[in-house]
Amino acid sequence: MTWVSKETKTRFAAVARQQGISDSGLLKRLVELMLRSTDPASYDASTIVEPEPTRSTRLTVRLRTDDEMLLQARAAARGMAPATYLSVLTRAHLRSLAPLPKEELLALKRSVSELGSMGRILNQIARAANQGERVASPGREELQAMLRICEALRDHVKGLIAANLKSWERGYAE
């Protein structure tokens, strides 16, 4: 570690700003330039430790006030921080992914699973009734109506999942 005078630090920061980068970004460039200019035979490359790749790069984005309000509302609706929401949305767009927050996905999957289970049970009861077995109420018509309701609910939830995925792509639900 080393220390420099306040004047040197101020001049260094001015050069960094002039190049449109941070102080640490300029320092990194200088270190890399120095390393590239040295004789490769003068140092042991096996002692160099490659840095772990970072998860992300910090990016600053300027938004209009109304867009920022929309961003905060949409992020809050999904239980995410605005920066996380933007990161997920950007990654989804760049990689053609269809993100669904874990909580939403699990809730919708459980709903579809439960509806499927109910539909199978009702189908078994309806099959028994159709084969002439004694079935206590509800009757055949009620069972068929419940089965149609379960199938409609299942299809509706699947539609909600599809609409949610499209909303990530377009930025709004249809």
Task: Answer positive or negative: Cα dihedral of 133, 137, 143, 146.
Answer: negative
Residues 102-137: tens digit of each pLDDT: 666 777 787 778 778 777 877 887 888 888 888 776
Residue ranges of domains in the chain: 7-45, 62-97, 102-170
Residues 21-67: tens digit of each pLDDT: 788 877 887 777 777 777 655 555 555 555 555 566 778 889 999 99
Q: What per-residue confidence (pLDDT) applies to 87?
A: 84
Q: How far is CA 5 from CA 12, 18, 130, in A?
A: 11, 20, 92
For residues 143 and 111, is the Cβ–Cβ distance under 8 A?
A: no
- Residue 39, judged by CB atoms within 10 A of its CB (0-12, 13-18, 19+), counts as exposed
Place of tokens 């929309």: 70
Rounded-to-integer distance, Cα 17 and Cα 33, Å: 19
DSSP code at position 52: P
User: In the predicted model, what is the mean pLDDT of the chain?
Assistant: 76
**pTM of the prediction?**
0.37
pLDDT band at 100 (very low <50, low <70, confident <90, very high): low
Cβ-based neighbour number of residue 63 at 10 Å: 13
Mean pLDDT of all residues in 140-164? 78
Higher-confidence position of 166 and 130: 130
Residue 78, pLDDT above cutoff 60: yes
User: Which residues, 6+ apart, have CB-to-CB distance to 161 below 8 Å?
Assistant: 100, 108
